[in-house]
Structure 1
Amino acid sequence: MTTITAIILTFNEEQHIERCINSLKESVTEIIIVDSYSTDRTIEIAQNLGVKTFQNPWKNYATQFNWALDNCGIKSEWVWRIDADEYYELNTTIDLKKTLTNLENDITGVYIKRKIVFMGKPLLHGGWFPVWHLKIWKHKRGFCENRWMDEHIKLVEGDTTKLDIVQVDENLNDLTWWTEKHNSYATREMVDLLDTKYCIFSENSVDPNFFGTGEQRKRYLKLAYLKFPLFVRPFIYFSYRYFFKLGFLDGKSGFVWHVLQGFWYRFLVDAKIYELQKIYKNDDQAIINYIKKTYKID
């Protein structure tokens, strides 16, 4: 039977980590946590549940995850990327290890469904479900692309398949935490968009292709999004998700989600870009130098 190692990156995740670990225990061979020096009980909880724990200073998600792939002594055939505030929605009709064992030899990556639960409600409209993500792949056959936001797994060889299982993203923190976190995300998204525009440090990125994989389509649409004017594109994005993709069918929780994630967050990203452009008077090289210096990108 095949072996699977689940990799979880953590920082102060005592509220979520037990749920995540317990959802995986029956389906994987090993669980590894790479922690960014949490100050709560994250490590204690994980170790009490028999999970291997490592600690490494945080730079960004891609760097941390690739460090985990290279430095945690992974011996399993497959690895599974899952966040601490996510969990595996157990499908009793699918034996994951047996299913992976029976795959053709040229299959090195597996797409699974991602479901977002926000304010206690699954978001089943607005284009949010089902969304297929490459979450499971053969060890040494893939890595996390080096980006500051919107990082995807890129395979170095082989083909992919889809498996009808669900990874649920349900963060239990309140809206104050959510908005503070997304303010931080907006800075990372600003860096990522400017990097996409100026090619500051991107390498080994997913190739944009509207008719390709989910990651390739998303990257293609992101490049198209960049072509729209600042402050106009958040309105377009919100309208597309909420009206055209029927996001309004998810009720009040869905409305809050689409206003905050689909409009406010993206408007904030544009505002941060606009702020930089004003400070440096639209001098592209000055903006590039600022990004390199501030975020220590070689």
Structure 2
Amino acid sequence: MNNPPSLTAIVLTYNEEIHLQRCLDSLKGVCSEIVVIDSYSTDKTKEIAIQNGARFYQNKFSNHANQLNWGIEFGHITTDWVIRVDADEYLSEELGRNIKKDLITMNANVHGIRVKRLMYFFDRPLKKGGMYPIWHTKLWRNGSAFCEQRWMDERMKLNQGETASLEGDLVDHNLNNLTWWIQKHNGYATREAIDILDKIYNFTDAELVPSNLFGNGEERRRWFKQKYLMLPLFVRPLLFWFIRYVLQGGFFEGKRGFIWNILQCGWYRFLVDVKIYEAYKKAGYNKENLILFFKKEYGYDVTKIG
């Protein structure tokens, strides 16, 4: 029997001592190498990474896309394949087995592989309300992909070849408390607002995953998101909540589903729109004024993602 192609995991970290061991344990026996790209953690992240045999690098964080592309470029990756895994994620046993088995016989035309993300909330999986399965391109042949330059919701973009799918879940199970989650999403909302305004004012000329109703799952989601953004401010969060919670059955998740959809589909999307509204109220509809606003108020140079 042939040995499977070699595989490197890139793991982005910042103060991830609560998650990192679990993540690394799931990668052992699947990946030939593990590369941790850290944003100058102040906890035991470095010690855990090194103790588990990972190669450890540090780079100043600006956004996830930059950090991942930095790892691809400077992580000295020489394996056949690369997989992107967040520190609060881990491979299910089924996914690990299928990676080892299916990479051996993968068609030469396939340069990217999509896997299913399974999100946990309050320590249980979310499978209703459009939350599962959500397919993401997480594996790619070395040199065949880069992360699109976005402030939020970044995806891997292939520069050649086709995509295939593997069964098994990439489990996203964050163990931090609700206050941490809210603070994180407040920051996400700022970057999401910048991304939306970038589409209107062309702050950057980044190369993005295309939107295509008839494309793969990521391209379809991007198409639907563009249609969502055409709706009026403050109306679209209500519609999004209704679709996820009512039409897609989020209410079947019980209290967890109610909380999740209020926070993620309602409050978070509403907060994004409020931040756009704030920008317009303080800077008007002038591109240069908006650029200055985000630099002064939030410290972001919106003209330089990369």
TM > 0.5 fold call: yes
Residue number among 72, 76, 79 corresponding to 2:75 in the alignment: 72
Task: Name 1:143's counterpart in structure 2.
Answer: 146
1:13 aligns with 2:21: no
Q: Does the CA contact (< 8 Å) of 2:117 and 2:136 recur in 1?
A: yes
* Deviation by residue 1:127-171 (Cα, 9 ceiling, x = unmatched): 110111100010100000000001000000001111102100010
**1:283 Cα deviation after fit:** 3.1
Task: Name 1:42's counterpart in structure 2.
Answer: 45
Secondary structure class of the residue paired with 2:256: helix
Worse overlay, 105-114 or 213-222: 213-222
Q: Does the CA contact (< 8 Å) of 2:89 and 2:171 recur in 1?
A: yes
**1:198 Cα deviation after fit:** 1.7
* Deviation by residue 1:11-48 (Cα, 9 ceiling, x = unmatched): 00000000000011121111110000000001111111
Q: What TM-score, normalized by structure 1, do the two folds share?
A: 0.96
**1:288 Cα deviation after fit:** 3.9
**1:214 Cα deviation after fit:** 1.5
**1:215 Cα deviation after fit:** 1.5
Q: Does the CA contact (< 8 Å) of 1:3 and 1:77 recur in 2?
A: yes
Q: Distance in 2 between matches of 1:180 and 1:200?
A: 26
Secondary structure class of the residue paired with 2:135: strand
Q: Quick one: which amino acid aligns to residue 106 of structure 1?
A: N
Q: Distance in 2 between matches of 1:226 and 1:292?
A: 24
Q: What TM-score, normalized by structure 2, do the two folds share?
A: 0.94
**1:70 Cα deviation after fit:** 0.7
Residue number among 273, 276, 280 corresponding to 2:276 in the alignment: 273
**1:238 Cα deviation after fit:** 0.4
% same residue: 46
Task: Name 1:238's counterpart in structure 2.
Answer: 241
Secondary structure class of the residue paired with 2:97: coil
1:295 aligns with 2:279: no
Number of residue-to-residue matches in the alignment: 298
User: Structure 1: where are the runs of 5+ without partners?
Assistant: none
Q: Distance in 2 between matches of 1:159 and 1:192?
A: 27
Secondary structure class of the residue paired with 2:35: strand
Worse overlay, 85-94 or 49-58: 85-94
Q: Does the CA contact (< 8 Å) of 1:147 and 1:202 recur in 2?
A: no
Q: Does the CA contact (< 8 Å) of 1:109 and 1:161 recur in 2?
A: yes
**1:92 Cα deviation after fit:** 7.8
Q: Distance in 2 between matches of 1:47 and 1:169?
A: 23
Q: Distance in 2 between matches of 1:291 and 1:157?
A: 35
